[in-house]
Amino acid sequence: MNEGVKMLMDSMSEVTATTKQEIGFDEAFTLHHRTVFRCARSVTNDSALAEDITQEVFLKLYNHLESIKDEEMLRPWLIRVTMNLSRNAIRGNFRANVREENYVKESEENAVFEPELDYEKREQAKEVRRALDKVKEPLRSCLMLKQQGLSYKEIAETLSLTETSIGQYVARARKEFVRFYGKIGREV
C-alpha cells in the first residue's frame, strides 16, 4: 500500500473516532425532534397526540441517554420508541372509545326518561342542600366527611379537632339536619 494512502486511512480513522463522541440531549433534540414528530403524526394522524408522544419520547431519551453509546443508534432508537408509544396510544384511545360507546349504549338502554321523577330528584337534592346549609360548622363538615366514609381519626386530622369530639359533632349534626330537613319539607 502506498504511504499516502496509509496516512489518509489513519487520518480518516482519527476523524471517525472523534465523531463518535457522545451526543448531548440538546443536540439530539435539535437534530431529531422533527423526525420523531413526523413519525408519531404519521402513525396517529393527530398532531396534538403526536406532540404528546414526542415529548414522552424525549423524556425517555433524557432518562436513558447514557445507555445509548453510539450516535448512529440514536435515530433508530428514537424511531422505535416513537412507533411503540404511538401504537400504544392508538390502542389506548381505541379501548377508551369502545368503553365510552358501551357505556353510552348501556345507559341509553337502561334510561327511562321520566321528567316528573327527574324533577322530584332535583327538588329533593335542593331541599337536602338547604337543610345542610342551615347546620352550623364544624358539625356540617363532620357529617359530610362521615357520609363520605372517613373515620373519626381522619375527620379529626382534616378539621384539626380532637378525635373524641367527632362522634358528638356527628350525632348533633344528624339531629340538626333532621330537624331542618323536616321544616323545609313542611314549608314546601
Q: Where are the domains of the chain?
A: 8-109, 115-187
Would you call the peptide bond into 138 cis, given omega within 30 degrees of 0 as the criterion?
yes
d(CA 175, CA 177): 5
Q: What gap in Å lies between CA 33 and CA 13, rounded to an integer?
A: 30
Specify the CATH number of the domain 8-109: 1.10.1740.10
- Whole-number pLDDT of residue 56: 92
Residues with Cβ within 8 Å of residue 68, at least 6 apart in sequence: 23, 61, 74, 77
Cα–Cα distance between 126 and 131 in angstroms, integer?
9
pLDDT in tens, the chain (188 residues): 555 444 444 544 444 444 445 678 888 888 889 999 998 898 888 899 999 999 999 999 989 888 877 778 888 888 889 998 988 888 887 777 777 877 777 776 666 667 788 888 888 888 888 888 899 888 988 888 888 888 898 888 888 899 999 999 999 999 999 998 887 655 54
Whether the full predicted model's pTM is greater than 0.85, yes or no, is no
C-alpha cell recorded at residue 102: 358501551
CA–CA dist 146, 59 (Å, integer): 42
Q: Give the pLDDT confidence score for residue 172 in this predicted structure.
A: 94
In this prediction, residue 22 carries a pLDDT of 62
Residue 114 sits at φ, ψ, to 5 deg, of -125, 95
Query: Which fold, 115-187?
Result: Arc Repressor Mutant, subunit A (1.10.10)
pLDDT at position 54, please?
Answer: 94
Spatial distance between the Cα atoms of 64 and 113, rounded to a whole number of angstroms: 55
**pLDDT score recorded for residue 112:** 64
What pLDDT does residue 91 have? 82
The three cell numbers locating residue 142: 363532620
Q: For position 175, what pLDDT does the model report?
A: 93
